Structures are given as structure tokens and as C-alpha cells.
Amino acid sequence: MENAKRIYALTASEVEKKLNTSKEGLSSAEAKARLERDGLNTLQSKQSKSMLQKFFDQFKDFMIVVLLVAAVVSGVVAQEWADAIIILAVVLINAVLGVFQESKAEEAIEALKEMSTPNANVYRDGKMVSVPSDEVVLGDIVSVEAGDVIPADIRWLSTASLQIEESALTGESVPVDKNDKVLEDKDVPIGDRINLGFMNSNVTSGRGLGVVSAIGMQTEVGRIAGMLNDTDETTTPLQENLNSLGKVLTFLILIIAALIFVIGLFTNHEGLPLQTVATNMFLTAISLAVAAIPEGLPAIVTIILALGTQKMAKRNALVRKLPAVETLGSTDIIASDKTGTLTMNQMTVEKVYYNGETHSAKDDIDANNSMLRVMNMANDTKIGGESELIGDPTETALVQFGLNHKFNLDSVLKSEPRVEEVPFDSDRKLMSTIHKVQGNPYFVAVKGAPDELLKRVTKIELNGKVTDITEEQKQEILATNTSMAKQALRVLAMAYKTVDQIPADPSTETVENDLVFAGLVGMIDPERPEAKQAIAEAKDAGITPIMITGDHQDTAEAIAGRLGIINPGDDSRVITGAQLDQMTPEEFKERVPEFSVYARVSPEHKVRIVKAWQSRGKVVAMTGDGVNDAPSLKTADIGIGMGITGTEVSKGASDMVLADDNFATIVHAVREGRKVFSNIQKSIQYLLSANLGEVLTLFFMTILGWDILKPVQLLWINLVTDTFPAIALGVEPSEPGVMKQKPRGRKSTFFSGGVSSAIFYQGVLEGALTLGVYLIGLHVGPHVNDYDMLHADALTMAYVTLGLIQLFHAFNVKSVHQSLAQSNPFANKMLNLGILVSFVMLAVTIFVPGFNQLFHVTPLDLVQWAVVFAAGFAMIIIVEAVKFVQRRMGRQ
């Protein structure tokens, strides 16, 4: 679209005409029509694979190729066509399960993506409304401010100190100043198109009003998206670690399989030709390798993580990166903003101070009161449809206070419109607006932190009269500020002045000086009722909760005391940003455990707090909602963005987004993270101990010269025992006391906490019990006097035992150390169903006529079944005994 590319060369009126729109915005009907005509404002993602493609991809796996070769060898060379058919059936079933696992993980991730669609503020029917960004259409009039993400390509119609960070698109490392001036050149480089805003770039300061000139794949970032769709996906660190584990295990098991093949050539002749022995041992070695290598482990872990994220999403915690789930479980520190996370984020004016007196917010106040005028005019709150207040909670509270006292903001702004401003920033803690008053003077409204504003005040208004302010009056104001703050009120100061003309360069130096003090406003944001309980739960879990706020020290201390973060009145654990600035990094690192409350801090201090704790080896979760919070969110091990009050920049920098901005949701997410990590450990413990049991069984059968399990038997055991129970263990309920345990530590792995030793001894135990059943099988049953049938029965008993014992073992791994008796062993319905289905698939090979020959098994009598089930129960009893000893030794 050549015309769209050169839209920067058109005037505002030409742009409006070209796109058939106006500054009043589109009508709802026109917007709907354009949406139907042009489609959604989305970037096309890489086309997902079809089910057929996913199915054929399963056959690219090395071990699957080996199995196919084994099927050919079995059928063509060994003339064991039944074995070949079963091997192919196992391959096909594995492929189907692989497609199911992959699709399940993709569905979970896509469901999460759909929940993170940002909104855009547009004018429809002459009113500002918030719509999903994918419903923005060509010609929409869009309003943006600091913290927003540009929803589409936009031609600016008006700007106020607008700066946009475009590094992802242009490579420019610093934010770009934007304006609405026409660019005359024909070919302006994208980085110099200062009257355009580009989709997915971030507003760092100021405000802007513009018209949408391109959407979706027609935007500049859409062109890049088209190129990105041709690139391959990368694996996460967690997947890479699992893949590395798989490669190591594959290497070891292939060595063992080769060893079994070589040993088998010399110990299992039984008068058979060497070629037949070699073929049989080759098939056995391949089957063992395929059965013992946990090739499905990465997929199972992905499913467990995805299911965990879906469960978190239902509790209002949207995890944006799957590996973050695992990290959540090891959180040592939760550093949380106060406002909206620990509190209700429903600021209300509680007290006001003017004319030298403190008043209740319920008292009558004159609509022309200067303090009331300033708090409403120096304010970016938007009044949407049905009088909905859109903006910062503090500012909306001020406007709501005005509405409650019959201050008509819309009417005032029409007669005294804002013509200039000095936007708020976190360094100077002030905001100023300049309004054109009927006549010559301009009214300057300034609000901000009392201590900062008083530095710029020279006069005071008392009962309508303006006089020079005295030092005593300043001290009284500061004392009132302190008194309010000790009551957990957030205090803002209001001041004003009149000027004859607007400064040529409006700035804090030219505007915010020689001010008239008008009053103080004390607001409160009550703590969330569930936050106190969540903080207590976090402390029980060994997690240190930290509160961070830009509020006054006394306010922070009062709220923290009420929440239980510190003991009420304990100011020794409270530190201000100014005090933090006086510490060297080394000193702060040593003293950081002393502080639980950070008051009067800027977002830049958050990075110091995160790094100080991380330098002590702690895993830190940090919340943030502002643009300037992005560095600390990225630095933290878990960056947590606010879904309601958070800017799109902070959400984009986060690993997790809170849909309800609630601290209790973080604690729930940590609980879920601990459960997910524990369940992955259980699946790994189950798979690897079972596979070790299979390897040891076949290894010793080969060395001892016994009959060995057939390839089809090994593959069937692997199919029925590894898939369903391993996935079902991923949805195990939390173990009792999961939030009473201390964080596991930064260096812990899936093999920590006794899992590695459990894998080893339980694998040995499975192998020993199976070999023991084989020996017993040589002395029991109806064929004691028939050598061939006796050995066939014994091998069948070993086959069933090896499969059944793994199903019993699934109950063992429900906890590494806790006894089954301490919880309901059948609480996990999915595990119960998985074990039942697996047992039926195993029993089919014994009981259904025709399967005996296919799987080389014989029917068993009651005594033989009793021995098999006794071995299965013995697995549970022995492991329970080991756990009992471990608990007595203090390992739990």
C-alpha cells in the first residue's frame, strides 16, 4: 500500500478525508462494517501443523525409526510376522499418543495467549471507549498515554510530550519524540517518521491522539511478522535440560542394550543357530532401548506445565512463559507493590485540609474551592460512557470526590480548557496543567507530593485570601501530612497560580514555581481482606513478603503493620528510597534481610532490591505496573505484571500477569508452582525407576542365561505403563503441607529432595522383585513337570509382574517421603482411571484368546496370579517401609 506508506506526507485533514473519518471518531455501525470488511487487527501467526503433519512428524524420532527397522527385521529375517505386526501397532499407538500430547500442549498455550489481548482507547459515537486491540479498524481515532502499547500504525493528529520506544522496530535505543507535523520528503526512513506511531511500540511518556492508518499485516511490524513466520521455533531452557537428560540416558541405555546383545550371543544359544540367536538378541536389545529411553518425557513435562498454567489462569494468574511455572515453586521473596495488590485499589478521599483546618470528606465544600478545582483540573482522568472514570485510581478518586460535591468537571474544562501541561514523572513527583480562563490570565494547577510541592510554594490561600506563607504554616502543613500518613492515608498537596502567558518552554523550572498552597487531600486504599491471610501463608511457606510503595514512610508502615508484613509500630524494618540511596551496593546486600517495607521509592530502586536478594542466592518474584517497572520485572526471576492497572509495557516484560492485581493470587500461583514441580518430579521418578527396573531385569536375565522377555512384551509394557500413569501423576493434588515447606533453593533440580536415590533403589527393587517372581515361577503352577511350559509360565509371570509392579509403583511416587496412609491414595481420579486402563491392556494379552500366541504368554492359575499380585503389593509395602525409616531419620 504505497499511499499508506506515505501517509506521513499528508496533513491531518487530508488523512481524515482519505480514511473517511473525523476527530469525533467512527460510529459503532461504521466500525463494525470496517471490521467485517478488513478483518481483525491481528498479526498472522505461523500456520499450525495439521493433524496429519503432526502424525508423520512422530516418525522422525530416532527411536521410532529403530523400531520400524526392528519390525522389518522381525518379519522379513526372523519370519516372526506376529511380532512385526505388534511392533508396528505399538509404533502407531505411540504416534497417536504423541499427536494427542502435542495438540493438548498447543491448545493449552493458545488458550493462554487469547487471555492476554490488550485493549485500546478509541472514540466511537463521539465518546471514548475501551475495545480489544484486535477490533481496532482503519480510521479509528485512538488515544494513548504513557504505558500504553500502540495498537496499530497511527498518524498523529495531536501530541503532548509524546515519546515512543521503537527499538524493536527501528533499533533506536532511546525513545523518539513524536509530533503531528507533515513530513515533506518522499522517502522518509522509518526511524524518522516522527508523525507516525507503529503497532506494538511502547509509549514511554506524554499523550497522543491519532488516526489508525494501517492494521494487522499491513502495519510495519506486520511486515516483520511475515518474515518471522518463516523462522523455526526455539525450545525453552527447561525443554533443553530435559532433552539433555534424554540424550545422556539414551547414550547409557544404548550401551547397556549393546552389552546385552553381546552377552546374549554367548549365553542364550539353547541349540539354536547363531543367526537366529543374533536376530533374537538384536530385536531384544532394540526393544529394551526403545522401552527404557523416556522419549516422551519432554512432552509429558510440557503437558504438566500447560495444565498447571491453565489451572493458574482460572485463579487469575496468567503465566506467559511455561518454564516460569517451575520457577514459581522455588520463590523465596515476593516483592509486591502496595497499591492494588495488597490493597483494594479503590482509592477514596477520606480527609481534606484547607483554610488551616482538617475536614472529613463527607463535609460540604464549595464548588469554587481552589483545592477542589486543582485536584480535578490537574488530573488525567477520562469520563467515559455512563460516567465511568478511566485513569489512575488516585486521580479517579479525586474526580469522584469532585462529583460527590457537585463539581462539574466537564463544564469547567469546556470553559477553562487545558492548553498545556508538564506531565507527572516519578522523579519530581509533581504534575501541572495550564488552563485558558475567560479573559487574559491562565490558571496553573499543580498537584503532587507535599514535601516536593512545598519547596515550590511561596503563598497560601486562607478563606479566599492569598498571603505569603510562613515557615510556621509550612511546618503545620507537614505535621498535618504526617498525621494523615500515620493513619495510612495517601496525601497529595494542591497548589496553583495565575499567569498572563504560557511559558515558551513549559517545564518544571518555568511552570512549577511561586505557587499558592491550596490544601491537602488524604486518601486511603483499604487492604484486601484476603491479603493478610495470604501473607501469613507465605511466611509459613518460608517466603519473605516485601512491600514496596511510593507512599510516605508512615503510610507504608501503617499498612504493612495491618497486613502482618511487620509488627505494628516496628519502623526498624522500614526504609525509604533516600536512605537506600545512601547505601553502597555491598552494604545494602548485607543489610537487605533487615528490611520488609520500602517507602518513597522510585521504580529504579526495585532493580537494586531484586539484585541484592539475588546476590544472596534467593529466587525473587517482583510485581510492577508502570513503564519504569519493566527493568525490575525483567531482572526478577519471576516478573509479575498487573492485569488491571498495569501498563502494556509492564505486562510485556512480565513472566506472569495477575488478572485481578491481587497478592493472594501470587501465593496461590506459588502453591500451584510447587505442586507442578513436585508432579514433574513424580513423573520423572516413575518413568526412570520403571525403566531402570526393565533394564536390570533384562540385563540379569541375559547374564544368568535365563529365558528373557520378548521384544513385543517389553514394548507393550512400555506402552501401557509409561503413558497414562505418567501424565495422570501430573495432575496429582497438592501434598499436605506443601505450603509449610521452605523454598527448595535456586540450585535444586528435578532430582533434588531424595528423588535421585528413590529412582535408584526403587528401580533395583522392581528388577529384584521381577527376577524373584521368575524364580518362584519355576517351582509353582500346573506345569511343574513340563520343562518348556514351566519356563513359559515363569516368563509370563515375570512379564505380568514387571508391568503390574509399575502400576502399583504409581501409588508409591505420589510422594517421595510421605506415607500413602497420610492421604487418600485414590484421590486422583485420572490416575485411578489411567492405572485401570493400563491394567486392562496388560490383562488382555493374558485372558483374551488369540493374544497368548501374539505376546508369547501362557494362562496363569490362581497360585501364579497370587504370586504376581503379592510382588506388586510388596513393592508398595517395601517402599512404605523405606519411607518410614527416612522420616524417622529426619528426611522429609
Nearest 5°: the CA angle 48, 54, 57 is: 125
Q: Please indicate, yes or no, whether residues 863 and 779 belong to a single structural domain of this protein.
A: yes
Residue 95 domain-assigned (yes or no): no
* Residue listed under C-alpha cell 506472569: 656
The pLDDT value given to residue 261: 78
The β-bridge relationship of strands 638-642 and 202-214 is unpaired
What pLDDT score was predicted for residue 68? 66
Of how many residues is the chain composed?
892
Whether pTM > 0.75 for this model: the answer is no
The CA distance from 236 to 241, in Å, is 9
Q: In this predicted model, what pLDDT tens digit does every residue of 67-76 receive, in sequence order?
A: 566 566 555 5
Residues 767, 698 share a domain: yes
Share the mean pLDDT of the chain.
Answer: 83
Our count of domains for the chain comes to: 4
Q: Is residue 82 part of a domain?
A: no
Give the model's pLDDT for residue 514: 94
Name every residue whose Cβ is closer than 8 Å to that of residue 775 and which is 6 or more positions away in sequence: 794
Q: What is the CATH number of the domain that holds 635?
A: 3.40.50.1000
Question: Which of 200, 228, 256 represents a domain boundary (last residue)?
Answer: 228
DSSP per residue over 391-443, as a string?
Answer: S-HHHHHHHHHHHHTT--HHHHHHHS-EEEEE---TTT-EEEEEEEPSSS-EE
Q: Is 63 domain-assigned?
A: no
Here the CATH number for the domain that contains residue 718 is 1.20.1110.10
Residue 112 confidence (pLDDT): 40
Q: Under DSSP, is residue 99 helix (H, G, I), strand (E, B) or coil?
A: helix
Are 182 and 34 in the same domain? yes
Based on the fold, state whether residues 489 and 608 are members of the same structural domain. Answer: no
Where is the domain boundary, 193, 212, 228? Answer: 228
Phi, psi torsion values for 871, nearest 5 degrees: -65, -40
Type of residue numbered 656 = M
* Same domain for 608 and 577: yes
Instruction: Round to whole Å and give the CA distance between 373 and 605.
Output: 34
DSSP assignment of 764-802 equals HHHHHHHHHHHHHHTTSSTTTT-HHHHHHHHHHHHHHHH
**Domain-located, residue 860:** yes
All 3 cell numbers of residue 268? 542364550
561-575 pLDDT, tens per residue? 889 999 887 889 999
In a domain, 168, yes or no: yes
Question: Residue 854 to residues 164, 793, 858: CA-CA distances in angstroms?
Answer: 70, 15, 11
Q: Which residues pair with 624 in a beta bridge?
A: 641
Q: Which of 497, 524, 551 is the last residue of a domain?
A: 524
Q: Is residue 715 part of a domain?
A: yes
Over residues 318-334, the pLDDT tens digits come to 887 767 777 888 899 99
pLDDT at 335: 92
One domain for residues 263 and 170: no
Q: Are residues 467 and 589 in the same domain?
A: no
Task: Judge whether 654 and 631 are in contact, CB under 8 Å.
Answer: no
The DSSP bridge pattern shows strands 442-448 and 515-524 to be unpaired
274-292 and 711-722 helices, crossing angle to 10°: 10
pLDDT less than 50: residues of the chain: 1-5, 78, 105, 108-109, 111-116, 173, 228-237
Q: Are residues 491 and 535 in the same domain?
A: no
| Residue 571 near residue 551 (C-beta atoms within 8 A) | no
Q: Tell me, what CATH number does 183's domain have?
A: 2.70.150.10
Residues 480, 509 within the same domain: yes
Is residue 780 domain-shared with residue 866, that is, in the same domain?
A: yes
| Residue 76: inside a domain | no
Q: Are residues 326 and 399 in the same domain?
A: no
- By annotation, the residues acting in catalysis are 337
Pairing verdict, β 348-354 and 357-360: antiparallel
pLDDT value, residue 49:
67
Q: d(Cα 363, Cα 360) in Å, to the nearest integer?
A: 5
What's the domain range around 787?
235-310+670-731+751-888
Per DSSP bridges, beta strands 620-624 and 418-422 are unpaired
pLDDT at 238: 57
195 and 241 part of one domain: no
CA angle 256, 258, 260 (to 5 degrees): 70
Residue 139 resides in a domain: yes
Q: What b/e sequence results for 729-767 when a residue is b if at least 16 CB atoms lie within 10 Å of its CB, and e otherwise? A: bbbbeebeebbeeebbeeeeebbebbbeebbeebbebbb
Q: What is the DSSP letter of 616?
A: T
